[in-house]
């Protein structure tokens, strides 16, 4: 009877550990990706990472796939992606698209901002 109890406890412990591991694996492998796009992405290099912007959405290319990424603050663009809106926050003018804010850069062009 004691052996059966120990086996049951070990079985429950193993199941709980495997389910915790499965949850962490799912969180790291289920990232938004696309395999291809009809549209030509705009390529931005920022801090030695190649980013691609397709319809105002930021991606990084990893093994022939575009993986969804957060737009890095300070990344500079020549032109703004289309489809956004002009907003003013605390007296500063921004352009907003898909939750990303852009502002005019001092050297020309635009940069990703966090108001």
pLDDT given for residue 29 in this prediction: 47
Model pTM above 0.75: no
Q: Where are the domains of the chain?
A: 1-30, 33-113
Please, are residues 114 and 102 in contact by the beta-carbon 8 Å criterion?
no
pLDDT by 10s per residue, the chain, length 115 = 777 777 767 667 665 555 444 333 344 445 566 655 567 888 999 999 899 998 899 999 888 888 999 999 999 999 999 999 999 999 999 999 999 999 999 989 999 999 9
pLDDT of residue 21: 40
H helix and E strand count, the chain: 1, 10
CA distance 16 to 39: 45
The percent of the chain in helix, strand and coil, each rounded to the nearest 5, is 25, 40, 35
**Per-residue pLDDT, 66:** 82
pLDDT of residue 31: 56
pLDDT at 77: 93
């Amino acid at each position: 009877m004691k052996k059966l109890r120990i086996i049951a406890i070990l079985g429950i412990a193993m199941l709980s550990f495997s389910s915790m591991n499965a949850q962490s694996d799912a969180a790291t492998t289920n990232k938004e990706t696309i395999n291809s796009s009809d549209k030509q992405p705009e390529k931005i290099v920022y801090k030695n990472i190649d980013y691609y912007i397709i319809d105002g959405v930021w991606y990084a290319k990893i093994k022939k796939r575009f993986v969804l990424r957060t737009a890095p603050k300070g990344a500079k663009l020549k032109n703004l992606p289309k489809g956004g809106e002009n907003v003013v926050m605390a007296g500063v003018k921004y352009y907003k698209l898909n939750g990303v804010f852009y502002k005019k850069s001092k050297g020309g062009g635009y940069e990703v901002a966090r108001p």
